[in-house]
Structure 1
Amino acid sequence: MSLDPAIAARLKRDAQGLVAAIVQQHDTREVLMLGWMDDEALHRTLTSGRVTFWSRSRGEYWRKGDTSGHAQIVKSVALDCDGDALLVTVDQIGAACHTGDRTCFDAGDLRATISPDAPAGGEA
């Protein structure tokens, strides 16, 4: 089986045929990591209940947790309005980051300046 043609037609892939996949914990909304998917990785994710990525460095598919035990159980998958990014909500078992941390985004705040002109509520 392959990715549903209706879904494939909506994807806007990069030059390597990949789409960014942002992974978020379903209940806390914590952003866990960013991975990359091609059509096959997305198909496997949509049909297996576990998240599969395409490893750009290894040039192969990898299902999160198969070697580490830190699995990602799929709760939902959504495509953004431009078709160039996916939001995958999961139940994360153990660490999401290869460093052993819960999230890949805890390496330190970059201390961005908050605009004094930002509207209330932080919306643009």
Structure 2
Amino acid sequence: MDDRETGLTLAPRYDAAGLITAVATDAATGEVLMLAHMNAEALAATVASREATFWSRSRGRLWKKGESSGHVLRVCDIRIDCDQDAVWLIVEPAGPACHTGARSCFYRRVTAEGLEAVGDEVPGAA
């Protein structure tokens, strides 16, 4: 083990594309809301503003969650895993976390038959 694993120095281990994985959970319920990626600039913006900012691989730019929908993720706590290659954001969501309108991006269960809706979370489900 080295200082990155046991010390108190923030030293994120970004991948070859300059990204680390970030997972956001609801501070009130513990529910996993979304998974995204951060580069150094996104992590710094999140720490400074206390609103989740990510690197959008599809847009090729920084993306503040809720910048167009208003469904920002207000950050209560930021944790980093033992080898500093993943970030956990504990957040208060100001609306649905998923771009589909679902509360969480994880609204389907994988089964041997394929996908199954979890409760009434699937957008457009009856």
TM exceeding 0.5: yes
Residues 33-112 of structure 1 correspond to what in structure 2 (within 5 A)?
33-106=34-107, 108-111=108-111
Residue 111 of structure 1: how far off its partner (Å): 2.9
Q: Which residue of 2 aligns with 1:117?
A: none
TM-score for the superposition, normalised by structure 2: 0.79
Structure 1 distance, partners of 2:54, 2:25, is 15
Give the equivalent residue in structure 1 for 2:25.
24
Higher strand fraction (1 or 2): 2
Instruction: Work out the CA distance in 1 between the residues paired with 2:87 and 2:50.
Output: 16
Structure 1, unaligned stretches of length 5 or more? 1-5, 113-124
| Separation in 1, partners of 2:86, 2:50 | 19
Q: Which residue of 2 aligns with 1:122?
A: none
Paired with 1:111 and 1:59, the residues of 2 have a C-alpha distance of 33
Shift of 1:63: 0.6
- Specify the SS of the correspondent of 1:109: strand
Instruction: State the Cα RMSD in Å.
Output: 1.1
Measured in 2, the distance between the counterparts of 1:11 and 1:50 equals: 19
CA distance in 2, matches of 1:98, 1:14: 26
Deviation sequence 1:71-121 (CA, Å, 0-9, x none): 100100000012110000000011101111100000x21137xxxxxxxxx
Give TM-score, length-normalised by structure 1: 0.80
Bigger proportion of residues as helix: 1
Structure 2 residue matching 1:110: 3-state secondary structure:
strand
Corresponding pairs, count: 104
Residue segments in structure 2 that go unaligned for 5+ positions in a row: 1-8, 113-126
Whole-Å separation in 1 of the counterparts to 2:67 and 2:110: 32
Shift of 1:66: 1.4
CA distance in 2, matches of 1:27, 1:101: 17
- The separation in 2 between residues aligned to 1:85 and 1:65, in whole angstroms, is 22
4+ aligned runs moved over 3 Å, structure 1? none
